[in-house]
Structure 1
Amino acid sequence: MAHPNLDKVLDSLVTKKYLQGNNNQHKPVAGNFFFEVYKFLDPHKISVTIVASDANRLGVYSHNRVRRITPREAARLQGFSDSFILHPNDDKAYHQLVIV
């Protein structure tokens, strides 16, 4: 079942030029992101499996903007407790999560 505001969210992302729409299909416009997006997560649904190739390329629409998930969010999705110590460098923290 689609999110009740999905069309509104998608239209907003197209207007902001984060997505390109064509025949009810959407794809990221990479030039407008400060990171490469591989998948978008729906904060109201079960997450996709996080794997080494995309842990740092997952986007989420939150507070009227698109952002990359944080290493802490990635850790939580994998079942790590908030007491798990992440490397202070985000790139190394993402790598840390996929190696453990």
Structure 2
Amino acid sequence: MNTYKSTLFQTKRIPGFPSYIVTDSGIVFGPRNGFDEPLSSTLRPDGRLWVQLVAPNGTGRHKGIDRLVCMTFNGPSPTPRTRVRHIDGDPRNNRAENLVWAA
């Protein structure tokens, strides 16, 4: 997995979505905009931010940014249905250090 570091943030390729990268602060970049601008996100009723990605097989997938950051920086989900917990309780704070897999 490629990792890119800057003085402001760290980025990694998203597992399962190799054409996309995410920062440890929760910003997702994709190939459509040449990685120059973040993907636009949607605020869901539960307060979580989501983006639409295209999987390698060409299908569109809506994914929670919290889940993408957690699996990219904190490792894979223990089970497919395990939810992401925001340590500070703020569902819009998608920094890697604020996310853990819920027990």
More strand by share: 2
Same topology, TM > 0.5? no
Q: Which has the higher contact order (CA 8 A, sep 6+)?
A: 2
Tell me the TM-score normalized by structure 1.
0.31
More helix by share: 1
